[in-house]
Amino acid sequence: MKSRIAEIIREHLTFEIITHESPDEDAVGAARALGHALVSLGKSICFSFPTPIPASLLFTEEPVSGEIDDPEISFLVDVSDMGMLRGIPPRGEIVVIDHHRTKNGFGLASWIDPGKSSASEMVYDLLCEMEIPITPSIASNLFLGVFGDTGGFIHANTTERVFQIAYELVHSGADPHFIAYRIRKAKPFTFYQILCKVMERVIIKDGVYGSYISFTDLDKFHARPEDASGVVEELASLAGSQLVIFLREVKPGTIHCSIRSKQNDAALNTARAFGGGGHGLAAGFTVEGRPRELIHQVVKEGTKWVKTA
């Protein structure tokens, strides 16, 4: 499928690059790296982000090309769920590059590989296949994505291959210290205000830890939407937690849920019960409701999927 995508790139001139709502490091890194690569081939590109890139992820170089009105191809990068596009339709023929587990491929070509650490790893493989030089801008964006999706080389997807790619990216000009510090050592004060509130409310049941932050809390802290990102990882760092759930009321009555688990598929199965999806160990969903009530339901569902010793 990788070679089919390479062929599609060679045969077309104008590309739209789309990623999922609330873009994370991998979404931004993979999308921008692919953009740089296409521009280096003389193609014209444009981006379509269903929700804006958080300010904290705006430090890597953005590719620039001439304006296009009618892209021939729409790349979906780090996303294969049309529900995560906020209803914004792709304008060209769809080509998917994603590592989230989904049932079916679709569009003109669909390269979905849950065995990859990140969409950035896939873009790296594609560029190698096409013998496109990895410039420092491409390297920095791909390193951002690989670092982000492996949790800083911590998660189970941190394979030997990931380190090999990281080596190549640093060799090609990515600055690992700069990127890691921008992501990990530059947290806003509001992050810790949110975290304190979340910790006060933790519910613990059979290895399942759940908590939430309401829209009112976020408003009180003058928090930006992205200020709560990383809270779920802090819950997952608690000793004894097998599955963690974090609800964030993104606007009054709309709740986004992030789930992490240490046992395979527990996060995904819990998310699926509420119409969501993701990876086996990291999944989520968005529903209408009240966080204070919903948290009990999600914790209860989570306990079904956690095997207790």
Q: Among positive and negative, which fits the CA dihedral 128, 29, 151, 84?
A: negative
β-pair type (282-288, 254-261) = antiparallel
Neighbouring residues of 79: CB distance < 8 A, sequence distance ≥ 6: 18, 19, 20, 27, 85, 96, 98, 100
Q: Among positive and negative, which fits the CA dihedral 226, 227, 232, 236?
A: positive
**Closer to Mn ion at the Cβ: 26 or 217?**
26
**Closer to Mn ion at the Cβ: 97 or 223?**
97
**Closer to Mn ion at the Cβ: 153 or 215?**
153
HSE-up (13 A, CA, CB side) for residue 258:
16
**Interface positions, 23-42, toward Mn ion (CB under 5 A):** 26
**Closer to Mn ion at the Cβ: 25 or 227?**
25
Task: Report the nearest approach of Mn ion to the CB of residue 78 (Å).
Answer: 4
Q: How many residues bind Mn ion (CB under 5 A)?
A: 5
Kindly state whether residue 78 participates in binding Mn ion, applying the rule CB under 5 A: yes
**Closer to Mn ion at the Cβ: 31 or 243?**
31
Task: Report the nearest approach of Mn ion to the CB of residue 23 (Å).
Answer: 10
227: DSSP letter? G
Where do runs of H (alpha helix) occur along 14-130? 25-40, 119-129
**Interface positions, 162-221, toward Mn ion (CB under 5 A):** none
Kindly state whether residue 98 participates in binding Mn ion, applying the rule CB under 5 A: no
**Closer to Mn ion at the Cβ: 218 or 282?**
282
Q: What are phi and psi of 138, to 5 degrees?
A: -65, -45
Task: Report the nearest approach of Mn ion to the CB of residue 149 (Å).
Answer: 5
Taking each helix axis from N to C terminus, what angle separates 119-129 and 160-171, rounded to the nearest 10 degrees? 60
**Are the beta carbons of 202 and 235 closer than 8 angstroms?**
yes
Torsion angle of C-alpha atoms 295, 299, 300, 303, degrees rounded to 10: 180
Task: Report the nearest approach of Mn ion to the CB of residue 222 (Å).
Answer: 29
Kindly state whether residue 121 participates in binding Mn ion, applying the rule CB under 5 A: no
Scored b (16 or more CB within 10 A) or e, 187-217 reads: eeebbebbbebbeebbeeeebbbbbbbbbeb
Task: Report the nearest approach of Mn ion to the CB of residue 37 (Å).
Answer: 18
Nearest residue to Mn ion, by Cβ distance, number only: 26
Task: Report the nearest approach of Mn ion to the CB of residue 280 (Å).
Answer: 14
Range in contact with Mn ion (rule: CB under 5 A) among 142-150, 213-221, 272-280, 284-292: 142-150
**Closer to Mn ion at the Cβ: 149 or 227?**
149
Range in contact with Mn ion (rule: CB under 5 A) among 36-44, 119-127, 192-200, 231-239: 119-127
Task: Report the nearest approach of Mn ion to the CB of residue 299 (Å).
Answer: 26
Where do runs of H (alpha helix) occur along 206-263? 215-220, 231-236
DSSP three-state, residue 70 = coil
Cα angle: 69, vertex 8, 43; to 5 degrees: 45
Taking CB under 5 A as the criterion, the residue among 149, 226, 227, 249 binding Mn ion is 149
**Closer to Mn ion at the Cβ: 96 or 119?**
119
Task: Report the nearest approach of Mn ion to the CB of residue 186 (Å).
Answer: 21
In the complex, the residues that contact Mn ion under the rule CB under 5 A are 26, 78, 118-119, 149
